[in-house]
A and B are shown apart, each in its own frame.
Chain A
């Protein structure tokens, strides 16, 4: 089995890194979760590395654990996790020297019924863009990158879809908790000066939350699908963030988490940026 072969390679790499003292802790997966899911596992001793397991249910994004961990960390990372870590580096949240990335090729994860996980069915990146150790999976080489479709829908269809999604929302904020990118110490919805969110649950509150979150993640989303997977009400607003991120890629040529040297699109500017939609300016088609 390919997964067993990969597991063996990962264990060897983890053991070597811990013995060399290159890392204090390695974030990886081990078996034994509910529904045969692989659960997050912190490896601190070389002998524990034998418990590491890699499979098709390692779907939790491990990147958020790295954030704020003031140690030399090794991390077993799928391409989406790698992109999340690179995004942390470009946003000055962690230092590149402190993190050792064990990049793994990924052909997509499945849930307990064998269906593709939310982010995986439309995955664009099957190989880690940045890594220190590399674990190859031959099957990832020929997988197609599924590009998000550009807006072919009318405004009314968009509104209908958006409304259908937010009507299901109960504002539990699970999507924010699960998201790698929502790391603010105080989220805007929890501030009371200014009071963005009244305690009442109504359409306006939901619009403010989902659009505010989409704006914060615009151009930074790595499409890991954690928000959609975490939602108990079945709300999918990831498509909005995905479309806006695609727009930023077209307009500013910035792709989230692919290059640790490049500043995020909204944290930089150019003098001759296009003014799509400005009064008297051109329109984006």
Chain B
């Protein structure tokens, strides 16, 4: 059984030299996704570790998406939406904010490093800030190391991609 070996042991393993974090980024389509677009069209450099998933609103993000991403081997999860008050749907990000704060507490209580999950606000005009945020998130996740919450899974993925 996969759960037989200790999660703690696996968290502690030193990362491979060629390990590069995979960060799943949920971006709200109205602000952060446009911000990412602006960062791209402005030719700003930021680490290529993020995999962007576009969602209609940060309030659309089910906390289960984040939990599922972590259990399936993502090294980090980033969520970004409109600044409070700027939500296209008026209050979607305000509901989301409470949910995310609670989710962070839940991760901590379960012993998973809450810094794997990062929340922030990026507006459509903040292309520069988007690049800065991605740099910061990637640096944070690199510091924590690879995700070994579910032992075996990361290795499976690596084999599959090598084939």
Residues of chain A at the chain B interface (Cβ within 8 Å): 151, 155-163, 166-167, 188, 196, 201-208, 210-212, 214-215, 218-219, 240, 243-244, 247-248, 251-252, 265-267, 269-271, 273-280, 284
Residues of chain B at the chain A interface (Cβ within 8 Å): 1-3, 6-8, 11, 63-64, 67-68, 70-72, 84-85, 91, 94-95, 97-114, 118-120, 133, 136-137, 149-151, 153
CB within 8 Å for A280 and B120 given contacts A158-B110, A162-B110: yes
CB within 8 Å for A157 and B102 given contacts A203-B7, A271-B94: no
In the A-B complex, list the 10 residue pairs whose CB atoms are closest, starting with the nearest. Answer: A159-B111, A158-B111, A269-B94, A203-B3, A204-B71, A279-B120, A204-B150, A202-B2, A277-B104, A162-B110
CB within 8 Å for A215 and B63 given contacts A244-B102, A279-B120: yes
CB within 8 Å for A266 and B102 given contacts A155-B113, A271-B85, A278-B119: yes
Which residues of the partner chain B approach A273 to less than 8 Å between Cβ atoms? Answer: 94, 97-98, 101
Taken together as a complex, chains A and B put the C-alpha atoms of A202 and B71 apart, in Å, by 10
Whether A159 lies near B72 (C-beta < 8 A) is: no
Cβ contact of B102, chosen from A155, A161, A215, cutoff 8 A:
A215
Shortest C-beta distance, B155 to chain A (Å), equals: 14
Taken together as a complex, chains A and B put the C-alpha atoms of A251 and B103 apart, in Å, by 13
Shortest C-beta distance, A161 to chain B (Å), equals: 7
Which residues of the partner chain B approach A215 to less than 8 Å between Cβ atoms? Answer: 63-64, 67, 102-103, 106
Whether A208 lies near B118 (C-beta < 8 A) is: no
Whether A159 lies near B112 (C-beta < 8 A) is: yes
Whether B106 lies near A163 (C-beta < 8 A) is: no
Whether A276 lies near B104 (C-beta < 8 A) is: yes
Whether A202 lies near B1 (C-beta < 8 A) is: yes
Taken together as a complex, chains A and B put the C-alpha atoms of A151 and B137 apart, in Å, by 25
Which residues of the partner chain B approach A201 to less than 8 Å between Cβ atoms? Answer: 1
